[in-house]
Chain A
Amino acid sequence: MSVLDSKVPKGPLKDKWTTYKDKINLVNPANKRNIDVIVVGTGLAGGSAAATLAELGYRVKAFCYQDSPRRAHSIAAQGGINAAKNYQGDGDSTYRLFYDTVKGGDYRSREANVYRLAEVSANIIDQCVAQGVPFARDYGGLLDNRSFGGVLVSRTFYAKGQTGQQLLLGAYSAMNRQIARGKIEMYNRHEMLDVVKVDGKARGIIARNLVTGEIERHSAHAVVIASGGYGNVYFLSTNAMGSNATAAWKIHKKGAFFANPCYTQIHPTCIPRSGDYQSKLTLMSESLRNDGRIWVPKNMEDVLAIREGKLKPTQLSEEQRDYYLERRYPAFGNLVPRDVASRAAKERCDAGYGVNATGEAVYLDFKSAIERYGLEQAKIQGIQNASKEKITALGEAVVEEKYGNLFQMYEKIVDENPYKTPMMIYPATHYTMGGVWVDYNLMTTVEGLYCIGEANFSDHGANRLGASALMQGLADGYFVLPYTIGDYLSHEIRTGKIPTDSPEFDTAEKEVTERINFFVNNKGSHSVDYFHKRLGKVMWDKCGMSRNAKDLKEAIAEIKAIREEFYKEVKVPGSANEMNPELEKAGRVADFLELGELFAKDALMREESCGGHFREESVEIDGEQKGEAKRNDEDYAFVAAWEYKGEPSDAVLHKEQLEFKDIELKQRSYK
């Protein structure tokens, strides 16, 4: 019997969540006032959870490392949020959203969680509109939708290319209302550095005030981690500079199992890197694939001429272009899921067809869309015999309305006009499907310790579909956790205030202080970034879009060596008792150096290709799917949950077997 109990309620899939909600224990309003909950992170998951728990009457303490909760990296999500509203009448339903998510995740997610996510998705849109989130609307005043990869319906709600920003500002406004009432105590510029366990239960955290350097103790009856993903283990990613895995990794070291670390999403449409000094990569929303067509030249001489600047992409005729996604996947075309699109770009670039100096870029072209929209507008506006220029101008105006801010962002970074010449894109690390293992209640393997949003191993299996991260973050925070945590807290009404002067708090604080002192006193020879960049290179080269046993074994050894060198040679200027950004980075990179090794170990263990995890040893040998990823359901249809035992190499694997009762396991085909 496995130590992992997913606690999925019994009964038919469609009734599980409703029945569960009917049967859980509740806490009466007078008692809620005496119960403290800590929420770490204020993105969509943490922000919505903090606001909702405070509305319910709990005393909430919320923490973020930024100077305002509004700046959490959910703000950067561009394209949209999925919901099974079926406003377009195109056959969408809760079941279809559920089905698409499980299939898109390559059958590596927990059925019951995904169904619940699809069920509450429609509530999210209602809630956000009520908060004043200005979603895009059509001329009749109703909400507009667009399509995202891996699905055949239009279920994505959006606010220009700034959907994450608008949803986060919605959650932030809900938080502000509670901060004003004193129901949320907000700790900006604070970083959680450890969790405190008392008698096996999570009872508080140790946090550092990033302005003064002071180490603080905070107690609570339950702790919620909503600190986002670990994409920055690659150094270069679309994550914010400060995005880190420290909260998640610290709880892992205190007993929370870490699941599927190797499931990482490499997003197909990012601006290619331009030099060694680069600090981050910028995403171009997947929504662009609604209208953009991806291609590289068919002929190698054209590739070389383009690289040398002798030929412009716009000079190539249709016959000279290879729209490789449309060629390989006629059914889904440019809208295949992210993992498939990324690997296809890598395949073309590895074959030598990359179109920039580094050979790592493909085109995303809006010419066809501009023409199509232009003709449509000419008809709507009753313009007879419109000239080619007029049609282009009309089409560009439509494209600008849809993606204006993205086009502007591209132009500012690359210094090229994407209306006139195709964008250059290449895959980059974007999202991590792996994370802290949680049960149906979103509780980790530590009692009273919850994990929500990207930080948990979540509902996306081995690959997340576009516009589903915002959905999951808000589902967890607004509609799932507030119920499930209540059931747990109903047993805490007699506990009383948790003291912070216990030996457990003493020990945790001492450990945190010693570690900080170690860094500021180490006086090594290299900066934190020096080590972070080296780790990132190993991760990208050997644990990136395509993986094999030899590389992964090397990665494990190399990461360990970098980690050992880091502790000997890292240099952190400044002191502990002041604002010290280098010190903050040192702690985060130290954790990435452990997480990276577990990542490689997990990837080595999983000898199958599934979703974002592609093992070169596991591909289809022949037939229609020749060369595509090959999953192995017989041996690997499980969640890999790792238990911390000291060094990452000592981590112990626990398996949660995945059962699919309402969905048939199939080879994922987008052909």
Chain B
Amino acid sequence: MNLTLKIWRQKGPQDKGKMVQYKVTEISEHMSFLEMMDVLNEQLTNKGEEPVAFDHDCREGICGMCSMYINGEAHGPDRGVTTCQLHMRMFKDGDTITIEPFRAKAFPVIKDLVIDRSSFERIQQAGGFISVNTSGNTQDANAIPIDKHAADTAMDAATCIGCGACVASCKNSSAMLFVGAKVSQYALLPQGQVEATDRVKNMVAQMDLEGFGNCTNTGACEVECPKGISLENIARMNREFLKASMKG
């Protein structure tokens, strides 16, 4: 198929960006979206122009590196996939596709479609861990049985890949689905209980400090999340936060 692409080009963090139009031809429906971008970049390189910079790595939907806003949706029109898993069979011959970076105050653009998500890093550093040293003397892994339902729900929360689609999809640029998922994983496990109070308070405080907005329950994040992280995690975080606030 033949396509018209409108892509956000921005030289550097301080430069002004703009939408630039490109054409690509003979795109197979079996290609992934990023393979289509490879075709464009090969074309630009051969012409001596600078290729479009975009983040990507594993190309199998797990590393969370890729991050495009395609036709007004994070990771494009398909559900339950990242951009690297989006296939061109979702588009039609002659389509015009608009490609922008994830937009949020806390995700500044570095170049073209590449954004800076280090705000997510700092939120994790504020409390997204259990304080246990590596010693070889921790208790046996089966010492504490964990209810299967709780373990499975913790796993569902833990599958978050930290891509930031939730933030990009939210009209308030809220990171509550991301933070809620991490808080939930630990809140559901016995190992996470000891530090539960400080964890939720510190992570929420850092989230606010980074300039992420608040949650108004529109649910766009859940719809666009490539890993299907549920809104329940935000509710659970709110409960954890309330519990922590009452403890003082």
Check: B185 CB closer than 8 A to any chain A CB. Answer: yes
Question: Which A-B residue pairs are the 3 nearest by beta carbons?
Answer: A141-B145, A173-B129, A134-B155
Smallest Cβ-Cβ distance to A479: which chain B residue: B136
Among A176, A278, A412, point to the contact of B81 (Cβ < 8 A).
A412
Q: Are B191 and A131 in contact (CB under 8 A)?
A: yes
| Chain A proximity of B206: nearest CB distance (Å) | 10
Check: A393 CB closer than 8 A to any chain B CB. Answer: no
- Which residues of A come within 8 Å of B, CB atoms? 48, 51-52, 55, 66-68, 70-71, 73, 75-76, 85, 87, 120, 123, 125-132, 134-143, 159-160, 162, 165-166, 169, 172-174, 176-177, 179-180, 186, 188, 211, 238, 240-242, 274-275, 277-280, 282-283, 405, 408-409, 412-413, 415, 478-479, 482, 527, 529, 571, 573-574, 578-579, 581-582
Q: Are A130 and B124 in contact (CB under 8 A)?
A: no
Contacts of A137 in B (CB 8 A): 145-146, 148, 151-152
Q: Are A579 and B111 in contact (CB under 8 A)?
A: yes
Contacts of B11 in A (CB 8 A): 578
| Chain A proximity of B99: nearest CB distance (Å) | 16
Contacts of A68 in B (CB 8 A): 64, 117-118, 120-121, 162
Q: Are A134 and B158 in contact (CB under 8 A)?
A: yes
Q: Are A573 and B49 in contact (CB under 8 A)?
A: yes
- How far is A137 from B148 in the complex, measured between Cα atoms in Å? 6
- How far is A57 from B44 in the complex, measured between Cα atoms in Å? 49
Q: Are B141 and A126 in contact (CB under 8 A)?
A: yes
20 residue pairs of the A-B complex, CB under 8 angstroms, read A52-B134, A67-B116, A130-B132, A130-B138, A131-B129, A134-B189, A137-B145, A162-B62, A172-B124, A176-B125, A176-B129, A238-B60, A240-B59, A275-B30, A277-B31, A277-B38, A280-B59, A405-B159, A579-B110, A581-B53
- How far is A343 from B110 in the complex, measured between Cα atoms in Å? 46
**A132 touching B55 in the complex, CB below 8 Å, given contacts A173-B130, A278-B35:** no
- How far is A445 from B148 in the complex, measured between Cα atoms in Å? 48
Q: Are B140 and A126 in contact (CB under 8 A)?
A: yes
Check: B94 CB closer than 8 A to any chain A CB. Answer: no
Check: B56 CB closer than 8 A to any chain A CB. Answer: yes
Q: Are A55 and B134 in contact (CB under 8 A)?
A: yes
Contacts of A274 in B (CB 8 A): 30
Contacts of A282 in B (CB 8 A): 59-60
- How far is A307 from B220 in the complex, measured between Cα atoms in Å? 43
User: Mask for B158-198, Cβ within 8 A of A = 1, else 0?
Assistant: 11011000000000000000000000011001011000000
Q: Are B148 and A141 in contact (CB under 8 A)?
A: yes
Contacts of A135 in B (CB 8 A): 141, 151
Contacts of B117 in A (CB 8 A): 67-68
- How far is A130 from B138 in the complex, measured between Cα atoms in Å? 7
**A160 touching B155 in the complex, CB below 8 Å, given contacts A132-B186, A188-B118, A412-B81:** yes
Check: B154 CB closer than 8 A to any chain A CB. Answer: yes
Q: Are B51 and A573 in contact (CB under 8 A)?
A: yes
**A279 touching B159 in the complex, CB below 8 Å, given contacts A76-B60, A143-B141, A240-B57:** no
- How far is A136 from B140 in the complex, measured between Cα atoms in Å? 16
Q: Are B155 and A66 in contact (CB under 8 A)?
A: no
Contacts of B44 in A (CB 8 A): 573
| Chain A proximity of B57: nearest CB distance (Å) | 4
Q: Are A132 and B189 in contact (CB under 8 A)?
A: yes
Q: Are A277 and B28 in contact (CB under 8 A)?
A: yes
- How far is A581 from B31 in the complex, measured between Cα atoms in Å? 21
| Chain A proximity of B83: nearest CB distance (Å) | 12
Q: Are A169 and B110 in contact (CB under 8 A)?
A: no
- How far is A498 from B172 in the complex, measured between Cα atoms in Å? 48
Q: Are B35 and A279 in contact (CB under 8 A)?
A: yes
Check: B61 CB closer than 8 A to any chain A CB. Answer: yes
Contacts of B111 in A (CB 8 A): 578-579
- How far is A241 from B54 in the complex, measured between Cα atoms in Å? 12
Among B38, B57, B148, point to the contact of A71 (Cβ < 8 A).
B57
| Chain B proximity of A83: nearest CB distance (Å) | 9
Contacts of B31 in A (CB 8 A): 275, 277
- How far is A277 from B62 in the complex, measured between Cα atoms in Å? 21
Check: B48 CB closer than 8 A to any chain A CB. Answer: yes
Q: Are A177 and B45 in contact (CB under 8 A)?
A: no
Contacts of B148 in A (CB 8 A): 137-139, 141
Q: Are A415 and B132 in contact (CB under 8 A)?
A: no
Check: B42 CB closer than 8 A to any chain A CB. Answer: yes
Q: Are A582 and B39 in contact (CB under 8 A)?
A: no
Q: Are B158 and A169 in contact (CB under 8 A)?
A: yes
Smallest Cβ-Cβ distance to B11: which chain A residue: A578
Contacts of B140 in A (CB 8 A): 126
Q: Are B42 and A129 in contact (CB under 8 A)?
A: no
User: Mask for B108-126, Cβ within 8 A of A = 1, else 0?
Assistant: 0011001011101100111
